[in-house]
Structure 1
Amino acid sequence: MIDNAVRAKAIALYDRYTHETLDRRSFMAELTRLAGSAAAANALLLSIAADPAVAAIVPPDDKRLVLRKGPYEIDGGSMTGYFAKPANVARKLGAIMVIHENRGLNAHTEDVARRLALAGFFVVAPDFLSASGGTPADEDKAREMIGKLDYKQVIAQGVATIQRLKTLENTNGKAGTVGFCWGGAMVNQVALAAGKQLDAGVSYYGPAPAPAEAVRIQSPLLLQYAGNDGRVNATGAPWTEALKKAGKRVESFTYPGVEHAFNNDTSSARYNKAAADLAWDRTLAFFTRYLA
């Protein structure tokens, strides 16, 4: 039985591996030392890492939705996107771009897109690894590929996707974005680049830009942080303070005692249902206010 103190240290170690420069061999050696044996380390890793076999909250064959995965055109090029919208809705909808974690466009991100569609939005989750051949099944490979991306190009693709969403026949001319971890960081960057073209942004535990950039933000932002996420919070607190000082429309919440990626229900050690539900309710209320 792994106690909470060991689990917390293992999560911090895993974050160093997945978000910083710790290589897999060193990570597994340190995790084995922490857990006491190779078998215990592997069991601990399974509880921390995302499990693609976990059942989706909204099933991928939900008849209440219209779903499609395929290419869409932006600026003379194309990306792969997962599209979701409610079925049998005649009114024009606010649009949302979902930006994935550093694992790429996986089943969990697609599930998040379906949840937003059920709430009454037109949703696309782009695969920002499209130009590299698309998101691979191997999460370590996906993280490696994301580390090699041209971030200026990624931000430009995000802005172009927002622009496209605003012009679709079945959308109402308003578009927002939500992102998680790597995607949460990209929400802030897209907001900086898009200016008034972005109508709302929600960032979940995303590393923040330099506080001096806050004066450039023109869209309302909702920032959500995990209490135990010191790495991200070290940037998030100054960013929030700078946005408020600059008179920007910002709401910021930190959920005490929860881990980075607390919204990801495919990771049993990280997921916190109470915090995830509260953050989700705030997300839907925010998008309804600015996109409906």
Structure 2
Amino acid sequence: MSEQIKDELQTEPRVIPQEAFDWYDEYAHGLINRREFLSRLGGLAVLGFTMTTLTSALIPNYALAEQVSFNDPAIKASYVKFESPKGHGEGQGYLVVPRELKDNAPVVLVIHENRGLNPYIKDVARRLAMQGFVAFAPDALYPLGGYPGNDDEGRAMQKSMDKAKIEEDFLAAAAFLKSHELSNGKLGAVGFCFGGYIVNMLAAIIPEQLDAGVAFYGTPAAKELRNNVKGPLLVQLASLDKRVNATWPEYEAQLKAIGADYKMYMYQDANHGFHNDSTGRYSEPDAELAWSRTIDFFADKLKA
């Protein structure tokens, strides 16, 4: 146990120490297994934290992640399949449309983290539809039956899949959405964690087709692809996210060198996942600011 954690426990016993959030990030991204994660948390439990308190603060509770109801009368949601010949053959996603849509609208691809299409990401799609966008959130786990209802199983399922085929599925989803009958021809994409990586990848592989990308705490595409990025790209990072932030200086240097159109915002004292309102990592002021910037960015860049 570090001296910093001991000091925090003595001065602010009800505050979850930062190291616990760091451990969760390591666990969620496969750097440590569940046993090691719980073992580390157990050290905090000995010093006064119950495991229930710790796990409820760190592990998503998707009952909290509904800002827009799935049956809100202002939107219409459905599941739609699309072809993915270079990926898994067929994909499926959650399509959300403003019910009173009178003309074609900008379309936004919504890309989940490394665990499939969970309730939080579906809610993000609904939030976009409430702002007048046609939103489509594919489920990378569809070939295996779809998001299983819990993150641990979803994470294991996604890890077992061919990453190259998953990437092809999202490329196919982007093409499907851009050419959708409701599209005005302008394609945006927003992704979180793994989804942030996919946004960066789309910006590098289909720079002419992606009209605006928003990457929340995502790593960059492969180095050999990055010189293709044109943007516009909005990058949203959390200052406490050491793993992702370590990749930013090199990525930014490349973006500057090629004259790409990008903007980065760093949210101070925020953790990886700060936009996800189902966990203790959620930072409401940062999430609301980042989301308002996202909506403004799309409104500006996706005009017909």
TM-score for the superposition, normalised by structure 2: 0.90
For the residues of structure 2 that align with 1:87 and 1:72, how far apart are their CA atoms? 22
Are the counterparts in 2 of residues 188 and 209 from structure 1 also a CA contact under 8 Å?
yes
Match of 1:36 among 22, 42, 46: 46
Runs of 4+ aligned residues of structure 1 deviating over 4 Å after TM superposition are none
Report the counterpart of residue 159 of structure 2 in structure 1: 147
**Alpha-carbon deviation of 1:10?**
0.6
Q: Is the 8 A contact 1:155 1:193 kept in 2?
A: no
Shift of 1:209: 3.3
Supply the distance in 2 between the matched residues of 1:38 and 1:17 (Cα, whole angstroms): 22
One-letter amino acid matched to 2:285: A
Q: 2:284 aligns with which of 273, 277, 280?
A: 273
Instruction: Output the CA distance in 2 between the equivalents of 1:38 and 1:29.
Output: 15
Aligned to 2:202: 190
The number of equivalent residue pairs is: 290
SS at match of 1:242: helix
For 2:92, the equivalent position in structure 1 comes to 80
1:288 corresponds to: 299
More divergent stretch after superposition (183-192 vs 36-45): 36-45
Q: Find the counterpart in structure 2 of residue 89 from structure 1.
A: 101
The residue aligned with 1:179 is: 191
What's 1:49 paired with? Answer: 59
Q: Does structure 2 retain, via aligned residues, the 8 Å contact 1:79–1:127?
A: yes
Tell me the CA shift for residue 39 of structure 1.
6.9
- 1:169 CA displacement: 1.7
Structure 1 unmatched ranges of 5 or more: none
Map 1:56-75; keep pairs closer than 5 Å: 56-75=66-85
Q: Tell me by how many angstroms 1:64 deviates.
A: 0.3
Is contact 1:135–1:142 with CA below 8 Å preserved after alignment? yes
Write the letter of the residue equivalent to 1:73: E
Residue by residue over 1:101-143, the C-alpha shift from the partner in whole angstroms, topping out at 9 and shown as x without a partner, is: 1221011111000001111111100001111221111211111
Equivalent residue in structure 2 for 1:129, among 137, 141, 149: 141
User: How far did residue 254 of structure 1 move?
Assistant: 0.4
In 2, are the aligned partners of 1:214 and 1:246 still within 8 Å (CA)? no
**SS in structure 1 of the partner of residue 174 of structure 2:** helix
Q: Any conservation in 2 of the 1:177–1:200 contact (CA below 8 Å)?
A: yes
- 1:17 and 2:15 correspond: no
CA RMSD of aligned residues (A): 1.8
Greater mean deviation of Cα atoms: 241-250 or 72-81? 72-81
Q: Deviations over 1:148-204 (max 9, x none)?
A: 222221221111111111212211111111100111111111222223111111100
Gaps of 5+ in 2: 1-11
Letter of the structure 2 residue corresponding to residue 162 of structure 1: A
Aligned residues of 2:76 and 2:99 also touching (Cα < 8 A): yes
* Structure-1 separation of matches of 2:24 and 2:171: 31
- For residue 146 of structure 1, report the CA deviation from its aligned partner: 1.3
Task: Tell me, yes or no, if the aligned pair for 1:32 and 1:38 is still in contact at 8 Å.
Answer: no
TM-score, normalising length: structure 1: 0.93
Residue type of the alignment partner of 2:282: Y
**1:170 matched to 2:182:** yes
Distance 2:293 2:83 in 1: 32
Q: Structure 2 counterpart of 1:13, which letter?
A: W
What is the deviation of 1:239? 1.2
Cα deviation for residue 55 of structure 1 reads: 4.9
Match of 1:108 in 2: 120
Q: Secondary structure at the match of 2:185?
A: strand
Distance 1:15 1:84, change over 3 A: same
Whether the 8 Å CA contact 1:222–1:250 is kept in 2: the answer is yes
